[in-house]
Amino acid sequence: MLSKRQKEERSIRKKTILNGALKVFKSYGIEKTTMDEIAIESGFGKATLYYYFASKDEVFIAIMEDGWQQLWEGIEHLIITDTKPRKKFMSIIKKMAEIVKSDKNLYGFLFTAPNHIQDETKQIWKTYQERLYAILKSIIEEGIKKEEFINLNSGMLMKAIGGLFHGLLIENQQDLDQKEFELMLQNFLRPEND
């Protein structure tokens, strides 16, 4: 049985490997990355790398799962609050922005990673992604009904917000002030009669 210290050491090594892999994936692309390059970037030998992950695909899957799970767990408490749709939506987006800004490399990768894994049974992160999008879409639909949001197709509105979110928080080289981001989003979502 592993001691608490041994479990912590394993967790740190795994995180170090994932961070190294993320750098290599972003530099060379997923297809061109090798386990050797991940091992070198992580600062471990190949034996250590293979102890934690049997393949590059497993590393990719772990990055995707960890990132989406962190994002989900960071906003889960806001999803279950009993508040008006606009307030709920804004609080979720604000929290997501905080999480994304805390690790732009990881979330830039997560939001733009190609569909590298074709086997859908291995795409566990999609569960978090699909649930998040469905919840946000349902909040928007409720907000449209209550005239708290502009009256547009909820799917189209989600895509526009996603593009705004990605462009301002991930692609933007300047740090966007949280209040500026919120103001832009509020103006974007404002119903026509405001």
pLDDT exceeds 80 at position 190? no
pLDDT exceeds 90 at position 8? yes
How far apart CA 129 and CA 143 sit, in angstroms, is: 21
Q: Residue 67 is encoded by which pair of tokens?
A: 């990132």
Helix axes 104-112, 4-28, angle to 10 degrees: 60
More confident residue, 90 or 114: 90
Closest-CA residue to 87 (of 46, 26, 142)? 142
- pTM for this predicted structure: 0.79
pLDDT at position 105 is 85
More confident residue, 91 or 193: 91
% of the chain surpassing 70 pLDDT = 80
pLDDT at position 107 is 85
Question: CA dihedral defined by 22, 23, 27, 30, rounded to 10 degrees?
Answer: -20
Inter-CA distances, 141 with 83, 119, 151, 152, 188, Å? 15, 32, 9, 9, 15
pLDDT at position 165 is 67
Q: Are 28 and 37 in contact (CB under 8 A)?
A: yes
pLDDT exceeds 80 at position 169? no
Q: How does pLDDT run across 43-101, given as a tens digit for each residue? A: 999 999 999 999 998 998 899 889 989 999 999 999 999 999 989 988 998 898 888 88
pLDDT at position 90 is 86
Rg (CA), the chain: 19
Torsion-angle region of 110 (φ positive above 0: left; ψ -120 to 50: alpha; else: beta): alpha
pLDDT at position 175 is 61
pLDDT at position 118 is 60
Instruction: Report the mean per-residue pLDDT for the chain.
Output: 83
pLDDT at position 117 is 58
115 confidence band (pLDDT: 50, 70, 90): low
How far apart CA 189 and CA 88 sit, in angstroms, is: 13
pLDDT at position 9 is 92
Contacts 24+ apart (CB under 8 A), 186-190: 186/90, 188/150, 188/160, 188/161, 188/164, 189/86, 189/89, 189/143, 189/149, 189/150, 189/157, 189/161, 190/150
